[in-house]
Amino acid sequence: MGKIIVKKLKIKTCHGVNDFEKVKPQPFLFSAEVGCDFAAAAAEDDVALTISYAKVAKLITSVASSKVYDLIETLACRCAEAILDAFPQASDVRMRVDKPHAPVKAKFSSMAVEVYLKRERVFLSLGSSLGDKKAYLDFAVKRLGAEHGITLKKVSSYMETPPYGGVAKNSFLNACAEIETYLPPRVLLSRLQKIEQEGERSRELRWGDRTLDIDIIFYGRQVICDDVLTVPHADYFNRPFVLRPLAQIAPDFLCPLSGKTVAAACAALGNG
């Protein structure tokens, strides 16, 4: 792996919360570190096999000049997203935006923000126990495939399973999906909840029957536990309706907590 680096690209443009900043251009400095494997390009001395820093610079200039943002935080994120969208071979990007003339009453050389986005392999569990269950899962798969920042890689077969947890009464139709995304975990969660909402999801009764449920099972190798999100999913290893479809598409994936493969966890369930 290597990095393509664009450092302190100077662009005069308009961004800021103040009215005058939206119409009076000021200089900004943009720096990007784009992770990519350019071993083949180096071996062949072929620019077509790497990411052109000239194209990265042109792309940043386009993003910085096409729309006015209140926050340089937003500006940095949009530049980083645009780079990952434009270059599928990029594994990650670290984007920094400096605002040397920020209207702050203090002595400083620059005000700046930095964002880091990385493509991650993410596994989702999909389920439905109300209405046309297959139609709801089809809807979720279609929406995942169309969502900006998400690439749908694999979908398991749909499996009918009994209700789990003692609250839901109807049988479920379940599946698992593998996606690739650079969306941070909580942003991804928000997007998934929006898809659930569009799929007529009601949250009146926890663990009750539902039209559509989408859970994050694994987010790369990350371990997250807070009031909003727990990853790996806290109870995935006890759930046949998660492990069996997941074993179809990712049998060799290693849980970052247990160190066990999905196939091994699935086998441990036996016929339960």
pLDDT at 234: 87
* HSE-CB of 100 using CA atoms within 13 angstroms: 13
pLDDT digits (tens, 9 = 90+) for 212-243: 999 999 999 999 999 889 999 988 888 899 99
Assess contact for 6 and 57: CB atoms under 8 A. yes
Question: Could you tell me the pLDDT band of residue 1, with boundaries at 50, 70 and 90?
Answer: confident
What the chain holds in terms of domains, given with CATH numbers, is 2-118 (3.30.1130.10), 120-268 (3.30.70.560)
* HSE-CB of 173 using CA atoms within 13 angstroms: 15
pLDDT at 163: 81
83 conformational bin, left if phi > 0, alpha if psi -120 to 50, beta if neither: alpha
Dihedrals φ, ψ of 144, to 5°? -60, -40
Q: Which amino acids are annotated catalytic? A: 99
pLDDT at 205: 54
Q: Which sign, positive or negative, has the C-alpha torsion 192, 196, 197, 198?
A: positive
131 conformational bin, left if phi > 0, alpha if psi -120 to 50, beta if neither: left
